[in-house]
Amino acid sequence: MLDILKRWLGPAPPQIPGWADLTAWARSHHHTLRPVREPEGFVVEGRSGEVPWRLEWGPTQRGYIQGPELRIRAELPVPRELQALVLNRELMDAMEKDVFDQYVEGVQTRIDTTTPPEMRWLVMFQKLSAGEMGTLRERYGALSSFKPWLQQWLSGPLSHALMALPHEPERPLVLMIARRRLCLRTALAHPDTARLDTWLALFDSALKEAQRVVVDEREAHASTQPSLFAPSVMPAEAVRNG
């Protein structure tokens, strides 16, 4: 009987310090907050204008994030072939070293599909140069299957939002567009409402700026071929389907 009641009532609120504060915060912003099956974790759903988004906090899904992970996702009206990545400089450097150690020094010629797409893209697509990154160059790296789109995306408020973040070299940060979906990932040990507001503000800026960019779909499709180094590593079709 007790098990039936538990299933009917749904999962109990997770054992997270400040759960009452999270509940009040979600209600005040007209978000939907609910626990998940993990011992510690939750989902928040809200909207940026007319675009729905989903925030998840819980166990990490990426090896480069230690401890709990924050993920925010939303669908975008962009060409399906468009792929773009912005990440903090320290994470980019660590990933590039890992790629070199595993697939160059290790004489391995193909990156398998268990490798995160963030890492695969480092050897497939062109990065923005220091000059193209502008004020972001000391703290961030960026690359895309279609550089003109990426440059427009970073040309205004999103660049300011990224620079306004506290400089925390040890905290991985990824903004990624793939399969018409924008995703933010970062490490977040304590999901207090102030930190959630900070990351949601960055995600909102990234989402709105992505909607602002105008791109010719034919040009974007023609520009999704990987760089000259990529054929010896992994075909583009495998990344798009990975």
Q: Is the confidence at residue 40, as pLDDT, over 50?
A: yes
DSSP 8-class letter at 218: H
6's CB contacts (< 8 A; 6+ apart) are 12
- At 47-75, the pLDDT tens digits run 999 999 999 999 999 999 999 999 999 99
Q: Residue 241: is its pLDDT beyond 70?
A: no
**Span 8-24, average pLDDT:** 68
User: Is residue 18 very low, low, confident or very high in pLDDT (cuts 50, 70, 90)?
Assistant: confident
- Domain-wise residue ranges, the chain: 15-26+39-241
Query: What is the per-residue pLDDT for 5?
Result: 42
pTM, full prediction: 0.81
Backbone phi, then psi, for 109, in 5-degree steps? -100, -5
Q: What is the pLDDT of residue 109?
A: 53
Q: How confident is the model at residue 17 (pLDDT cuts 50, 70, 90)?
A: low
From the CB of residue 229, how many other CB atoms can be counted at a distance below 10 Å?
A: 9
Phi-psi region of 10 (alpha: psi -120 to 50; beta: other; left: phi over 0): left
Distances in whole angstroms, Cα of residue 76 to Cα of each of 36, 111, 207, 210: 25, 28, 8, 8
Please choose, from the candidates 157, 148, 135, the residue with its C-alpha nearest in 3D space to the C-alpha of residue 206: 157
Contact 43, 26 (CB under 8 A): no
Please name which of 73, 87, 70, 89 lies closest in space to residue 187, comparing C-alpha atoms: 70
Contact present, 71 and 55 (Cβ < 8 Å): yes
Give the least confident one: 1-10, 99-108, 131-140.
1-10
Reported as a single tens digit per residue, the pLDDT across 139-169 is 999 999 999 999 999 999 999 999 999 999 9
**Residues 93, 172: contact at Cβ < 8 Å?**
no
Within its chain, how far is the Cα of 162 from the centroid? 13
